[in-house]
Each structure stands twice: as C-alpha cells, then as structure tokens.
Amino acid sequence: MNNLSFKSSFAKKMLPFAILAISLQSCGENATKTEEKNTTKTAETAVKKGNFEGFDVAQQVYEFDASEEKNIITDAGTKIKFLPNNFVDKSGNIIKGKVKITFREFHDLADIMASGIQMTYDSAGVKHNFESAGMFELRGSQNGQDIFIAKEKPVKLDLISQKNGAFNQYYLEETKQNTAFIKPKAPQNNWLIASAYAQEMPQTIASRIVGKWNITMKSQLPTPNTEKAKKIAELEEKLPKQPAKPQQYNANEPILDFNISNIKEFPELATFQNIVWQYGGEKGGQNDPQKNDWIFKTTWSQVKLQSINAPGGGIKYNLSLKNDTKEFSTQIIPALRGKQLENAELLFQQKNKEYEIQVQKLGEEAEKIKKELEKVKIQGDFVRSFQVQMFGISNCDIIGSFSMPVAVNLTFGTISVNQVFLVMGKRAVVDVTRGGSGRISNLEKFTFDASSQNQIFAVVKEKGKQKFYHFSKKDFANVNIEQAKNTKKLDINLTPVAIENMAQLREVMN
C-alpha cells in the first residue's frame, strides 16, 4: 500500500497514513451576501438603566413599515424576521404605518454585568445561578405607545451564540416590586424558572427582586453559524492578500516531516515534498506531538492542512489527522533555511511592497473593511433559534453549579462597597449584592467555586459618581483555599481600576 509518512527528528518515529483524502485549504470559502432591505437603523444608548452610570449595552433601533416583511441582521450577526402585519395594539387591532423596534443582545459576561438583569432565581428558598449562552431584549412601539406581536405570528429570531451545548429557553415576565414591604423604587427584575407558567416568587423581603421566569423550550442544541465563514470570505476577498512572512528554521525545535513513498500516487502533495515543518503551538501543550506518543503508532486515513494567520505576519497550518476511531489536530509551520530562506525573504519583500501599494489605493475603504472583518471574526460560532411570542427579554440558560464550593465571610480591607460581582471564568457572573443598596464592608455568606477562574468586581457609588475595584484572577489564584475553608474567612485587597465604557470593562475582565 502507498503511504504518506510523518516523522519527528526528536522522536525518531514514523506516523503512517493510508491516504483517503487530503486537502490544502485557505481561511475562507465562497460566500453569498445577505443584507438588510428597506430598513432604517440607528444606534443609540440603551433606554433601560443598567448597573453602571454612563454606560450600558447599546440598543440597535430599526424603523420600518409594519405592513411589509422585514429581515434584519444585527451588528453581531443575529437575524430577525418580521412578517407583514406582525403587530397589534393593546386592543388587538392590526398596526399600520411605521413602527420602531429596539433590540439589545447580550453575548458575554461583561454584557450581562452591565445590563442590570438579575441572573439568579429562587426555588423553594434555594438560590441558584444561571449560566447563559446568549440573551436578548426585543421591544416595539409606535408613536411612543407599546405594540404587541400578533397571535399566531411569532417573530423568527436566530440569536448568535458563543457557547455550544443544550440550553433551555426562557422568557422574563416582568413585574414591579411589592411596595408593601419596601420603599418605592424603580421596577427591577428577577430570573425565576417555572415548569408551568404560573409560579410567583414570595415578596416578603426588601432585597428580593420580583418577577416570573417562564421556560418556553427545554434543552435545545444550537446549529453552526455558517454565515460567519461566508461573511469572512466575502470581506477578505475585498482586501489585498497580505503575503506571509517566511519563518526561519529553529534547530532547537523538532522537525515534523512529510515523507511520501510514491509521489506519482499523490501528485497533489508534490508541493510539500521538500518543506521542513515544525510544531507551531504551545510548547508542551496538549497538542504538542512530542507529548502524544500514540499518534506515531496510529494509521491515519485522512489528512487536512488549513492555513491560518500567525502573529507577526507569518503563516501557520492547522494539521488535522483522522481515521475511523481517532482524531488529532495540531499547529505546524513551514520552516526555511539557507538559500531557500534568502530567496523566500526577497520574494516576501517584493510582494509586501505590492500589497502596501494596493492598501494605499483603497484608502479609508480598506480600514472600514478591516473593522467590519474584526467584528465578524468575534461573532459566536453557533445559532440559537427562537419563535418570539412576546416583546421583552429572552434567554438561553442552564442552571449553574459549584463543583468545589467554598463559603466564607468576605471582607474588603478598609473599603466599603455598594455592589459586588463574582465572575466565574467564562461561565457566569453573579451580582452577589443583587443590585446594591447601602455601603457594606463584608459579605457574611459569600460562596465561590474553587474550581473556577474567579475574579471579583466591586462598585462604590457616592454623590452620583462610581468607582470600580477589582480582585483579579491572578489575585484569586494566590488565595489559600484550605485556609479559607477552615477559617470560613477571606479578606481581599481590592485594586482600583478605571472603567468608563464597555470596552474597558471587557479589557479588565479578560
């Protein structure tokens, strides 16, 4: 049998392939363009007040004729389809004329933290936390009056999501707080799971937020976001192709060499015949071939090389190996030396000058395309479909759990704060103080999951101003967990941080 072999100069082992298919792919594929039609869109600050002064998750606002079908694609790639005559007034009459639709979507923990939407619920006196795979707020009005979605005409909404896996869908039925027990204040919300549509929370303590969560669909898996790859390919096609910088052979790193036994059998592999490949990922990481001795003892039936951009203008390839029972992937780079490297560098300099001239000709248009490309690349890789029956807030959630819970009396040194958030890796954010009230110097019943990459944000609000404080993931990693368990105490030193907008919040959080 004719085989393609793969070897490491360090391991002195061969990795055999019984070739069924091999392909060399670039980053994108041919795309079809999807765009909004006859829709006016403006961006403005969210009307709803969130947790923080001065910034919140921004609204997208759309205005159009209610008698026509409208297809909207939001900034994040979410799709919303409105049918003709999709709206009614409070009496059930079909809405005619121009309507205003406002939309906000919440895709990461910074969005959720800023939104002011509570991500906890109580059931039988037990408090739980939600882990979200995406949330949105969709509302409609005409001339300042609320409108409603017509019965039997749900709005189709495909929400972009950053998480895979099965999540329930929920709708937040918003109600005001019970003012019989507390001083009047602005309406707030609470997430409450309900197996039916009629379970209300008790309203007996001031810190309790009143509301009702209705579960509308259980355990739904997402579909792939196929539009993302198409849009990336479409935008990249508009830009000049930046040449890849040659990468020099490193004598201290292993060589991963394709060894083709019969090139006539596989002519498409001739290009790779004289290239030296080296591992391009994290040294000692889980995908390092030197840490995976088993791959050299396995016969692979499929090989795929996919080019990816590398830092510094270089190029890497994702190498994917498969057979009927196993698969392995890693990153590799083509490494050059001697005359081969010299020739490649001269060619790179020539091609790079041509590239810079093409970019200059495009001018501002090139920068616009690059910015749009950056936005598309950070979109989620999944889509979660909703049939929206009512305007308001909907969410994809699962009930969070702590695999290694640690309960302590949390103190903040000499600082007293109004609001405290626990951020658990990329899983969830918990508003521990539930919206905040007066100043506190400690939390007597603070629980964190020792298995998560935790961090704490605290907010001090004074005379209409706010200050942010942070206890970082690195700070948390230095906490003596056993001591905290035994003493049931944790005193932390909060560091002041400058946060004035969503971008700065994300930067500190990451």
Give pLDDT, residue 196: 24
Domain boundaries along the sequence of the chain: 1-23+247-335, 40-225+382-398, 235-243+339-378, 405-509
Give which of 120, 111, 104, 57 is closest to 509, Cα–Cα: 111
Average pLDDT for runs of 10 along the chain of length 510: 43 42 33 35 41 89 97 93 96 96 94 84 68 93 95 94 91 56 29 27 28 69 91 89 78 67 54 70 82 80 74 72 87 81 84 88 88 88 94 88 90 90 89 75 90 93 87 94 95 94 92
Give which of 110, 107, 113, 46 is closest to 77, Cα–Cα: 107
Residue 310 structure tokens: 């590398």
Is beta strand 315-322 parallel, antiparallel or unpaired with respect to 327-335? antiparallel
CA distances from 273 to 4, 153, 245, 261, 276 (A): 11, 60, 20, 10, 9
Give pLDDT, residue 182: 26
Backbone torsion region of residue 274, taken as left when φ is above 0, otherwise alpha when ψ lies between -120 and 50, otherwise beta: alpha
CA distances from 15 to 23, 215, 258, 292, 305 (A): 18, 51, 9, 12, 16
Q: Is 408 helix (H, G, I), strand (E, B) or coil?
A: strand
Give pLDDT, residue 258: 59
Residue 413 phi, psi dihedral angles, 5° rounding: 65, -125
Please tell me the distance from the alpha carbon of residue 50 to that of residue 103, in angstroms, as a whole number. 15
Q: Give the other-Cβ count within 10 Å of 397's Cβ.
A: 23
Please tell me the distance from the alpha carbon of residue 132 to that of residue 129, in angstroms, as a whole number. 10
Residue 102 structure tokens: 């406002």
Q: For 363-423, where are the alpha helices, taking DSSP H only?
A: 364-377
Task: Provide the greatest CA pair distance for the chain.
Answer: 86
Residue 281 structure tokens: 């990922």
The 3-state secondary structure of 143-174, one letter per residue: CCEECEECCCCCEEEEEEECCCCCEEEEEEEE
**Contact partners, residue 383, CB within 8 Å, separation at least 6:** 158, 159, 160, 161, 222, 223, 224, 225
Are the beta carbons of 191 and 171 closer than 8 angstroms?
no
Give pLDDT, residue 274: 60
Give which of 236, 282, 120 is closest to 189, Cα–Cα: 120
Give pLDDT, residue 206: 26
Partner residues linked to 386 by β-bridges: 157
